[in-house]
Structure 1
């Protein structure tokens, strides 16, 4: 008994399971089985998939009993410390490597530059030496000529023949004497002047140590398929999970919007003949639809099955659609007949509407007047009210663009070299966010799921083919926090597209 009490007294306070920082735990979500602080409770209840969750006081008997059975060591962040240690050691090694590389680069460049200077100086030396050689040769010739004439004069003088002396004189007058003068020496050449003062600020050349952010300790992510279902469709283009028993799935190729019940197998409740491009849940659990080749948005009332138009974007075609926690409609649009090749007449933008249809904002260009999107194919939002867009740039490629509410790009994501290298383009087809802001994106052709932090850091990038996920197309998160993945069958003729349930552990 004493040992048990000492263990209980040694417990490390358990932090909020959402923000992982606040240890003042006040609430528990019954459906998610998650303990949380006051701040995260408010955020959790605003998330679309958590609106109807039951939040109970941890002092209640059920929650208190749950807390008493927590394993003590689970609250000690051993893995986070080890992860930080590993990341910092890698960060330090990379910093040293960059210094070594810069040192080698500069030494190599200095050697090249010094060699070039020596070669230039050698060329200058050859020029001066050529000048000196020519002058030495000229002087030698003049000297030899003078000596020869001197010898001739002396010979005539020694002859003591006056007539010969006077007759020879004109030959040796001043004009006949070789001119030994030459141009002055060169006044300029080249010299090396070493830089001294600038060496005191060599950091301008080499670089310097500056403050930077330490590597982030990112949560470890596990993705495990816990259940799989087979449909009678060749694709699940979109999936909306209402709860763990009901869902809507769509296939535009067969003009099918289907309500299903999910148990051990999938059972069809209702089929509606409509070509759905994209769909999203409203706060009332009705469904908003953007339809193929349509300029409007329609509302499906889930209780009656009635579909009626609620807004129009004139001549533009609707693509991605999403309803935020503030009950706003975010819509991606393109001009009719648009391709991936943009022109001055192209219109590719994201528009925010009130639920009543009044336009609030529109995003088409960034602050540098550059286009934000090629094809705004899928849209969602996060806990910060940012707008996350899958921007398709080709038939098989695309990226994630994240905007703040002012329309400024916060970050973009174009795949991970771990999966997207060579001809394996990043091909996103759907995107969802969790209650704490993590981002999950499908990568269709690579059978992969990319999980990112709210800041765009890669938490994991996992090829799911070994767990049966082939050609993932659509995503939805249920009230338990489980990820549902709708897939494409391996060819257009096969009607056995899968719907998988994935447990996410962060």
Structure 2
């Protein structure tokens, strides 16, 4: 059964981007050999696949031209996906009005709504995503096929937003790597390639005026806590830190053996992305890519998100996290 519709919980999940099945790198997928049943990047099609004499007569097609109605594509289990509202029930139809998959118990709530066969909606959504996305869409990635459909529709029909520049400020940094604002009319800025102080708090006035400067040059991400303190992570460090007014780094949480990366603070929690030590790519079966939700003090883990219900990896690498009242 297909994934749930784009509810708040579903939209927290990320699209799974497949690697080339020949070089195993994250190069954009472009081709599929129908005889070998493999997906390839442009380089491997030209320099690897086409060089093998025994497969010169194989049929290779652009992945966007693959017939999604082929039996191989519909080998996805669309009959046993649990309902979001009633986890013990399997979804039976797709509610067109609410844009979500529902089970028999949900039918009363959706009385009078237009519904569609899940397989029919699956094919429509998959075809639409393939035509409008530059990335390869895995036909088994039900979270993307159903959960991201509304978001893609919004992206392809953007609302025009007019932005107006009100002021421009100069810093003594070669570039600003991270920037966060405070509630006291100041900003924190950081840069990891500089001979001057790599972390600075600047007061916003006619010009930027330095309030505090620290010689930290390996900051990966930072944000402001609900108490007004600066929370930050370092590039190759297993700790989430809080910077006090004296400039001392205090450990908030130890993520060992993983490395904390992106940080986000909401009303009642701190969300941090983590990964294993070593090279970021390529991903292996031993790679650990998580989103960890801590309580507001940062001392206790509330939830760890890494895989979907089919035990498939949700994330490759999260360098930023943002949130609103419902979603991260």
TM-score normalized by the length of structure 2: 0.49
Between structures 1 and 2, the one with greater helix share? 1
TM-score normalized by the length of structure 1: 0.32
